[in-house]
């Protein structure tokens, strides 16, 4: 399992809202206790749910019978959850999202609502290497916050629910795929970019603090090397 992405460009460049098919609308509220029971949430996680979320709504069910797309090899359905933040809360803690993803077997696409704005979030959820019936919940990716006037566009075109899941996730990735780059390879490249970005941040701090001229020259040379590596990956 890959480690969580370190400080990477955290948002995609997505600038439009997604329009989900009317036939997929579900609209049922989900009690937080149901998530607790299915996930075995700790007391501290339950507290985050209570403090941060006003309500959880099961907004849409993307399935063969609702959007006329066949199931994929692993993705049989995609659930769309609306998360309404409580007044004064600026963001939902990722552990809250991860708890829900572990409680629900299908991929979850989150619409996080704050006042009149909305942002999307989704995990890179993949098949377990040694247990084909289990999911591994890896990194989360986010769209920017969008206001209510943002243009709506339909869902990406897809051949089945597996490819729709990948297309939705790619919308949230901070760097586009290269030619013929698979989703796992794209995620791996983002990890490498993140590692370089963190190293550059540490170097930038060290350069600012360094008093010795010769050492500062060495650090700047290291920075140029990292900058070239990053340039070749973006």
> What are the domain boundaries of the chain?
17-174, 188-231
Tokens found for residue 213: 């001229």
Q: What is the pLDDT along the chain (234 residues), one digit of tens a residue?
A: 344 444 444 578 888 999 999 999 988 899 999 999 999 899 999 999 999 999 999 999 999 999 999 998 889 999 999 999 999 999 999 999 999 999 998 999 999 999 999 999 999 988 777 766 677 888 899 999 999 888 899 999 999 999 999 999 999 998 889 888 999 999 999 889 888 989 999 999 999 999 999 999 999 999 999 999 998 887
Q: Is residue 49 within 8 Å of residue 137, measured between CB atoms?
A: no
What pLDDT is attached to residue 3? 41
| Whole-angstrom distance, CA of residue 141 vs CA of residue 183 | 13
Which helix (H) or strand (E) segment holds residue 100: the answer is helix 94-103
Q: How far is CA 110 from the centre of its chain?
A: 9
What pLDDT is attached to residue 107? 94
**Contacts of residue 138, Cβ cutoff 8 Å, sequence gap at least 6:** 1, 2, 4, 123, 124, 125, 126, 187
| Whole-angstrom distance, CA of residue 220 vs CA of residue 207 | 7
What pLDDT is attached to residue 125? 86
Tokens found for residue 50: 């209570």
What pLDDT is attached to residue 231? 87
| Whole-angstrom distance, CA of residue 114 vs CA of residue 90 | 7
SS3 call for 20: coil
């Amino acid at each position: 399992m890959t480690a969580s992405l370190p400080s990477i460009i955290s948002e995609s460049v997505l600038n439009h809202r997604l329009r989900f098919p009317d036939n997929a609308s579900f609209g049922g509220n989900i009690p937080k206790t149901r998530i607790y029971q299915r996930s075995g949430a700790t007391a501290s996680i339950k507290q985050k749910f209570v403090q941060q979320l006003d309500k959880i709504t099961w907004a849409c069910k993307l399935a063969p019978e609702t959007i006329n797309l066949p199931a994929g090899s692993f993705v049989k359905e995609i659930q769309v959850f609306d998360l309404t933040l409580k007044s004064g809360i600026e963001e939902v803690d990722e552990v809250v999202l991860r708890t829900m993803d572990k409680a629900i077997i299908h991929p979850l696409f989150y619409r996080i609502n704050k006042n009149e704005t909305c942002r999307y979030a989704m995990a890179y959820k993949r098949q377990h290497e040694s247990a084909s019936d289990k999911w591994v919940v890896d990194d989360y990716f986010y769209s920017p916050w969008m206001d209510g006037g943002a243009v709506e566009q339909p869902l990406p075109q897809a051949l089945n629910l597996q490819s729709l899941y990948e297309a939705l996730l790619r919308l949230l990735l901070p760097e586009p795929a290269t030619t013929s780059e698979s989703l796992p390879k794209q995620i791996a490249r983002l990890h490498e970019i993140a590692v370089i970005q963190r190293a550059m941040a540490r170097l930038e701090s060290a350069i600012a603090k360094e008093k010795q001229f010769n050492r500062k020259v060495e650090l700047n040379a290291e920075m140029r090397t990292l900058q070239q590596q990053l340039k070749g990956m973006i």
